[in-house]
Structure 1
């Protein structure tokens, strides 16, 4: 069998609509779908050498899109929880009101973080706030990637139990 090598530009031209539509249906947001599509093809480009069966390239790319979309949604939930926003304040209200609401959210988050074990707090800050990868977090904390995954999950579960953040979690789930 003499197959020609796959090029990412060809794959993009052939499958970008499929990936975009998947992401759009998954998120119901055009901007997020565009970002997920871009991220999917970046991951595909980096991992093209891992494709074992070129006949299954479409399912391979859609699989990458699925994992990328799931990760994207998780990040968005965390970003919304951790981001200091004043979304309840209209543009007509003064900046002092915005600052007070932002400070209140910040205090709630800080108090919840301080209740966590130091290691959990570090994992949440690195993964949730600084958006480091599992690998980067593991290297920084000098532990295994598996430990980072487990501890991140456990830390999130602890944060979900915190009364000051409970309402915000429920509104994002």
Structure 2
């Protein structure tokens, strides 16, 4: 064996490991979120009821329908199809996410407020109230986003604490 072989191997492996870092961590988790949402919302995207945009630290879902998205018995008991359920099914661990709701549609202000309130209530009823953040002051659609009810999902990746699993009985979610 050549005496410098381990050094040469390390020099070859190091660039490979550094390039692989982009496939893991927050960037990888954001891609997972985007892929899950794209899969769950496929029929709504195809029918023009929703749009999905990746953003650097998460994903933006825009609900394009002028519906008021009521929180009624039929919606909560899955008695009718609801795009909000598809959004929730596409999300990741709630402890990794922060969600902001904004309505940038052309509806009157009271209807936009009602839609945001109904959407927030739907998230709360489904156990996601800890993820909801105050709405941004901006009430216009960001560049590239169609007007509608915006659901901005941003990832909040905790520092890697070492170890994995549930050794202390509590979940340790990480951005993989």
Query: Which TM bucket (shorter chain)?
Result: under 0.3
TM-score (norm 1): 0.24
Which has the bigger relative contact order, CA under 8 A and spacing at least 6? 2
TM-score (norm 2): 0.24
Query: Which structure: greater helix fraction?
Result: 1
Query: Which structure: greater strand fraction?
Result: 2
